[in-house]
């Protein structure tokens, strides 16, 4: 079985930091840390099965979206030997509009 590397684009890292800050403010640092750890684990699991989620070539060639715990969406692309986490969207954000308007991050 092929294993892919997983890399986070700067905007995806920023999304995680912002999400941590938001949850920590609302529910505390422990809950925020646990949530982000689970989300990062879900991203890392893509290295052994990267073709999960829904193909969204209509937004960007090679883009895939996978849901996370029914309140977040992870946008990623599968490259030759790596999975690139493009963005992470929380709470029903309009990721289609955002991703259509930003071509390269």
Predicted local distance difference test score (pLDDT) of residue 101: 82
Q: What is the pLDDT of residues 46-91, one digit of tens each?
A: 999 999 999 999 999 999 999 999 999 999 999 999 999 999 999 8
Q: Is the per-residue pLDDT at 100 higher than 90?
A: no
Find all residues with CB under 8 Å of 13, minimum gap 6, and list them.
none
pTM beyond 0.85 = yes
In 28-92, which residue ranges form alpha helices assigned H by DSSP? Answer: 29-44
Q: Is the per-residue pLDDT at 94 higher than 90?
A: no
How many domains, the chain?
1
Who has greater pLDDT, 100 or 56?
56
Write out the residue range of the structural domain in which residue 69 sits.
Answer: 5-101
Give me the CATH number covering residue 18.
3.30.2310.20
């Amino acid at each position: 079985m092929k294993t892919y590397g997983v890399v986070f684009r700067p905007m995806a890292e920023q999304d995680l930091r912002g999400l941590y800050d938001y949850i920590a403010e609302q529910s505390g640092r422990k809950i925020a840390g646990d949530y982000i750890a689970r989300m990062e684990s879900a991203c890392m699991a893509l290295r052994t099965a990267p073709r999960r989620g829904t193909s969204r070539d209509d937004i960007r060639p090679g883009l895939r979206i996978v849901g996370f715990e029914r309140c977040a969406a992870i946008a990623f692309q599968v490259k030759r030997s790596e999975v690139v986490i493009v963005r992470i969207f929380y709470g029903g954000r309009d990721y289609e509009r955002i991703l259509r308007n930003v071509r390269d991050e």
